[in-house]
Amino acid sequence: MVRSLRAVAVIDLGDCENSSTTSCVSRYAQRRLNGQPLVRRIAGRISESQMVRDVYVSGAGIPTRVLTSGIPGAELLNMPHSHVLERLAAAADRSEAEWVVYLPGNRPFVDPVLVDRLLVEAQRHSECDFVGFFSTGGGWQRMQHLGLAGEICHADSLRRLRRNLDRLTYCEEDACLASYFQDAPGAFQMRFIPVPAELDRADLRFAVQTEQDWDDVQLLSDTIDAEETHWQRLANLVLTNSGLRESMQVRNG
């Protein structure tokens, strides 16, 4: 029998300190959707995971309004002048977790079932450093636009990345974890599993990276209740709206 794993989810708000270099994550993560702070919505969704033990909300220089508003079920981790890799590793240190689920704060429709699917894979392949989804037509890069799951990495592997932070040539705040693992010195075992066939398309996009993405998120949120935003329902809504589908495909490139 495979033993249970200790997993923590980290919703990262990005670098909130420097307005001249504000990332798209921090820009949208601090907004409200249907009257509710977006980060609170994401925390509520990931708390439905069957395998995530703790939830953290991290960021560099998190605004006071976020720090004082309270996010039920989540612990805040404010680390001024830090890089996302340092924040993720710090959450692993605090929680004593074996695996970390990285969720950028611009993913309003994160699906706990998809997250659990990745964690089951990590449980089966504990020798891996990283686990993520991939698309047959767009590789793992397409998953950053899809924005319905996250990336899973082993806590010890995160600590290795943290120690080598000054040696990474690709070190942007908005980068995905897969980019860091591929750029870092040394050998890392990365495992990618196929995204569900219904999501393996170039015309689905749920991460918020532009104002048009935000408009789409508002439209989808107005159409369905928050309790119904499982990935099958979302995908079906987009695929039955040709204008929305074509617009998403253009933005996906």
pTM score of the predicted model: 0.94
Residue given tokens 């300190």 in the structure block: 17
pLDDT at 3: 47
Q: Which is nearest to 84 in space by CA: 168, 175, 19?
A: 175
Amino acid symbol at 221: S
C-beta neighbour count of 175 within 10 angstroms:
17
Structure tokens that stand for 124 in this block: 């089966």
Residue whose C-alpha is closest to residue 114's, from 194, 43, 189: 194
pLDDT of 214 reads 96
pLDDT at 152: 97
β 99-104/75-78 pair status: unpaired
Average pLDDT, consecutive stretches of 10 residues, N- to C-terminus, the chain (253 residues) = 76 81 76 90 94 95 83 92 94 96 95 96 95 91 92 96 85 80 90 96 95 95 80 94 96 91
SS3 of 6-20: the string is CEEEEEEEEECCCHH
Q: 119 is written with which tokens?
A: 């964690």
**pLDDT of the residue at 2:** 42
